[in-house]
Chain A
């Protein structure tokens, strides 16, 4: 671990490892990176350092966090320019010989310091057609599913809604097409519904026309930053793109479907 070491006392051999963190301070109008130096040690994550800084130097530093276990998705930020969870980024994976930059997510409006307003995501979710199951299989109102049918959509259920994928997606981050594109997180959500064997709803026209699946150009940045290791592009977005092709761009599939209805 490359940790900058500072002698705390000339009379003792004891040394304290410290590192400098350049943290974004400001709001939607103005702001700047401010350097803070704090003690770091083995096993620490970036969120620990932020907490140290809050305790020692900047009690007004705004930082959203909750579980500190990579499961609540609250502490999303950009560490050295890469969207990551503060609580899951160990300091020993970062070069500490120079300041570690910590900035808020870039795809959403900044509220204060490291906190952004992610409400847009929840509004987007409301636009996606809800789960609409087929009639129950049994008289007690329950359904029967085989595990092998559940496996594929199970991966998508791991999502912790940290919105790192939304943040890194250049369609939202750079081009701000929030009104036309729902982003990787909600393509995963749509895939989890669309591929569910019990679901009877058809979201393909929405995906093509209203949710902007065509804006995704498969750069796989979302997959790269996902802390839950969901194969967003390969297992959710591309299969949805292929289903859209089935429905709108493939005359052969349409011909086959004339003789075989798609969904019961």
Chain B
């Protein structure tokens, strides 16, 4: 079929008739995401001060290998070469990192902020060619739902961390129930990460969106309704959970370093 011939010039980078600070949102996204990536990478390579009392930094949870006392499978294997950077965080951060990197919300945000594809709506772009997610490498973004499966698993670990943060061991070795500020921090962390994960577009599709006749599947219909309701705030949850997971690590780290004092509420 012959379509109407469209021949128009591409505009230059940043060219637009939009008024006001159209660039501000992309700039904020660029700065915040960059700051988060820099901090989380730094924290992941530290390998120390990620545990304080019953609190475990979410960047290091689950601790598969690492601290011989607490980790699932003991200390770092001796056969690993010494030159290879190793911390418990490096083993697991690919999962939440991949989930956020392939997230539909973040994709839209960082394509604008980092690639200028486009810098903002109705603003000229820096490159002439464009393949989007139609071909390699960005076609790999379709892997998102597999990261979702892992992220759902991580929620269980983080919820368990929040539960463990309720149980304090005193100097005599006795364990008792308690609530510290760190408990609240880790609990809020799992709530926000849970909200972000459960509002995911892929989850919304998997629990019911894939079905045309939802009335024939009442459980899926209810699940889709709930997921859709949360999905409307997916962007908000994405930012809040990003801030809070970094803050949770900072809190545990500074308490462990003795800079902050964990205030015990109960």
Contacts and interface: CB of A to CB of B under 8 A. Distances in A.
Interface of A: 78, 80-83, 95, 98, 101, 103, 106-109, 117, 119-120, 123-124, 126-127, 146, 148-149, 152, 168, 170-171, 173-180, 194-197, 199, 212, 214-221, 224-225, 233-234, 238-239, 241-246, 249-250
Contacts of A233: 108
B215 interface: yes
B8 A176 contact: yes
A94 B19 CA distance: 10
A98 B17 CA distance: 13
B212 A149 contact: yes
B17 A218 contact: no
A149 B215 contact: yes
B209 A80 contact: no
B171 to A, nearest CB: 50
B247 interface: no
Interface string B104-126: 11011001100001100110110
Nearest to B142: A249
A224 B17 CA distance: 17
B17 A81 contact: yes
B205 A242 contact: yes
B79 interface: no
B108 A220 contact: yes
Contact of A81 (B122, B128, B139): B122
Interface stretch (B39-47, B88-96, B129-137): B129-137
Given A146-B215, A215-B134, A245 B122 contact: no
B6 A149 contact: no
Most interface-central of B10, B130, B131, B132 (chain A CB within 10 A) = B132
28 contacts: A80-B18, A95-B19, A109-B6, A109-B7, A148-B214, A152-B214, A168-B121, A170-B117, A174-B125, A174-B130, A175-B10, A175-B125, A176-B8, A179-B3, A180-B134, A197-B212, A199-B212, A214-B132, A215-B130, A215-B132, A215-B134, A217-B108, A218-B104, A218-B105, A218-B111, A219-B121, A245-B142, A245-B145
B121 A246 contact: no
Say what secondary structure dominates the interface of chain B: loop
A217 B102 CA distance: 11
B205 A239 contact: yes
A173 B17 CA distance: 14
A175 B118 CA distance: 11
B19 A238 contact: no
Contact of A82 (B5, B18, B209): B18
Interface string B220-253: 0100000000011000000000000000000000
Nearest to A238: B201
Given A238-B104, A238-B201, A239-B209, A108 B122 contact: no
Contacts of A152: 214
Contacts of A80: 17-19
A59 B180 CA distance: 74
Contacts of A199: 212
B2 to A, nearest CB: 8
A45 B7 CA distance: 32
B231 A234 contact: yes
Given A219-B112, A242-B202, A170 B212 contact: no
B10 A242 contact: no
A147 B78 CA distance: 63
Contacts of B160: none
Given A109-B6, A218-B104, A249-B143, 9 more contacts: A78-B122, A81-B17, A148-B214, A149-B213, A199-B212, A218-B111, A221-B118, A242-B210, A244-B142
Given A80-B17, A168-B122, A195 B212 contact: yes
Interface string B196-207: 000001101110
B4 interface: yes
Contacts of B214: 148-149, 152
B4 A117 contact: yes
A23 to B, nearest CB: 12
A164 to B, nearest CB: 10
B1 interface: yes
Contacts of B132: 171, 214-217
B16 interface: yes
B252 to A, nearest CB: 34
Given A215-B133, A217-B132, A224-B121, A250 B3 contact: no
A39 B67 CA distance: 76
Contact of A250 (B7, B124, B145, B204): B145
B107 A217 contact: yes
A220 B111 CA distance: 11
A221 B122 contact: yes
A101 B142 CA distance: 40
Given A120-B4, A126-B1, A195-B212, A175 B130 contact: yes
